[in-house]
Chain A
């Protein structure tokens, strides 16, 4: 990672900046705010850019590597943009025992995409994730911030139709 010659640009919304300043006060040591800042920036910008890493490092008085090593360690942080909606299907045992793999495959078919890739219309990214801690209602799927339970083939169709309807309404 190159050393910035000028200030890194992140273009965050004013409310994100306000939340960033507030969250730093939660900790006696600024470095603790690394994960919260990464979450806030990813929620605002969609992903963690190189500038975002440099910006956080400056903000928290850290070396950029201290931020980068956190980004690469935690699976939820991503370095590139994804689809507008993020479909995360639980891959782990309890869900797999009740058809989690089929659920994941069905979502990929619905949106004409492959695992980890974004649909051609840019609308949806389908991923597998590890245990979502809702094993009693398997198979489960986290779409953006909402958990969907007992997602069998019929539910996949229903949910997919709804996502498409919401996308159409935006256009």
Chain B
């Protein structure tokens, strides 16, 4: 079956010749018309549209956006804050960068609509420290919008006022975790907060109700308000509405970003047709479907079970290529859609070495607050690095797995899961390769690509 056509909703203008990131270009293309319409509507009606749209957060967890907004404590009398999570840093994910660099006003419009819908007077864009250029572009774009009375006091002659400031991170992955991000914005170490309270919507920034949404999610809000929630929900599939941006990297012929109606494309179509398949003379070996913490899929394995199609339960028997790229299908086969970052590895990659690379990342990024994660991520890194650079032992496979098994569920935030899932899944799916590594290592080409 041929791959469906791309549906560029969020990325409509990305890489479009002649499209620039200034406000005049955005206005020429119909920009801010949706905000102008939105401020004449009732905030609760806008929230209802977002609920109807079925929009799920694009930051990684796929949490329903309308539901997240419905949790906001609107009776406390405290100010409500909105934070744009622009801390894009899950390895394999690179979509928000393009939105902020090439179409910043789309984000600002989506943000302002979301602020108006939630009676937010102050928004912050938390952008990662490694994107100084993105921060400058956003600051310029906000100033342009302010000059046109689209941000700031009495927006468009209404009594509604809202300010946006850009806040830069400083190189810590954990700031993508929403409570870690809030701590960081408060000027502290980004140690995620203990739950309860379960949602910043109740107690967040400065102990006030706070909405934290991903960059792409807020851009979707603009399109939802533009076409109406019900109309938007017709894009994609039930439960996985709207479009989804896939960021494909690693060993394919055409890596890059591709936007499709959610749930309409399979892994095989994405990698073989859209991305041109494996590099010449190579075959696909493994793929991580939703950012580096998602559990790895091994080409050749099968996934079987029953799934709901409409009102019926039907059997499925999929290879990796057959898996639909939506949140639910990927969860069903034991991985996740996460942030849409698809990392492809071909037959030249040794899985021990690839895991050692991932483990070094998570060890570096653990905030250190919870012992199982701080120590566990360190030991997983040490063991896998030693296997590559020092002595590898057959029993290391079981040792690595046992360390990984002791982390998830024992930490304050989901980083515990994020850092153990790669090791757990690599060890389950490529156990043979890990156990054979001490011997295989002796014959691996010495000039092979270093991964760690």
Contact = CB atoms under 8 A, between A and B. Distances in A.
A115 interface: no
Interface stretch (A8-16, A117-125, A126-134, A154-162): A126-134
Contacts of B259: none
Contact of B130 (A70, A136, A142): A142
A16 to B, nearest CB: 15
Contacts of B153: none
A130 B381 CA distance: 14
Interface in B73-124: 88-94, 96-97, 122
A34 interface: yes
B427 interface: no
Interface stretch (B2-10, B328-336, B354-362, B429-437): B354-362
A135 interface: yes
B89 A32 contact: no
A35 B168 contact: yes
B361 A93 contact: yes
B361 A92 contact: yes
Interface size class of A (residues with CB under 8 A): 35 or more
Interface residues of B, number: 57
Contact of A147 (B128, B133, B169): B133
Contacts of A135: 91-94, 247, 249-250, 255, 341, 343
Contacts of A94: 91-92, 249-250, 343
Nearest to B136: A145
Interface in A91-107: 91-94, 96-99, 101-102
Contact of A75 (B172, B188, B341): B172
A168 B449 CA distance: 34
Contact of B189 (A36, A69, A92, A132): A69
Contacts, number: 155
A97 B361 CA distance: 14
Interface stretch (B33-41, B179-187, B410-418): B179-187
Interface string A26-65: 1011011111101100000000000000000000100000
B256 interface: yes
Contacts of A69: 188-189
B422 to A, nearest CB: 10
A159 to B, nearest CB: 17
Interface in B353-388: 354, 357-358, 360-361, 364-365, 367
B300 interface: no
A146 interface: yes
A66 B189 CA distance: 9
Contacts of A130: 89, 91, 171, 173, 361, 364-365
Contact of A31 (B90, B128, B186): B186
Contacts of A136: 94, 247-249, 255-257
A96 B249 CA distance: 11
A145 B250 CA distance: 25
A95 B376 CA distance: 25
Interface in B109-153: 122, 128-133
A31 B90 CA distance: 27
A146 to B, nearest CB: 7
B316 interface: no
Interface in B246-293: 247-251, 255-257, 292
Given A130-B364, A133-B96, A29 B186 contact: yes
Given A93-B354, A94-B343, A96-B449, A74 B247 contact: no
A67 to B, nearest CB: 9
B278 to A, nearest CB: 13
Contacts of B97: 133-134
A153 B122 CA distance: 46
A138 interface: yes
Given A39-B168, A135-B91, 12 more contacts: A26-B165, A36-B168, A66-B188, A73-B189, A74-B171, A75-B364, A97-B349, A97-B451, A99-B449, A101-B449, A135-B93, A138-B250
Among all A-B residue pairs, the 10 with the closest Cβ atoms: A74-B170, A135-B249, A34-B187, A101-B450, A94-B249, A75-B171, A31-B187, A76-B171, A76-B170, A131-B91
Interface of A: 26, 28-29, 31-36, 38-39, 60, 66, 69-70, 73-77, 88, 91-94, 96-99, 101-102, 129-138, 142, 145-147
25 contacts: A26-B167, A29-B186, A35-B167, A35-B168, A35-B184, A39-B170, A73-B172, A74-B170, A74-B190, A92-B292, A93-B354, A93-B357, A93-B451, A97-B354, A97-B451, A101-B449, A101-B452, A130-B171, A131-B92, A132-B130, A135-B247, A135-B250, A136-B94, A137-B255, A138-B250
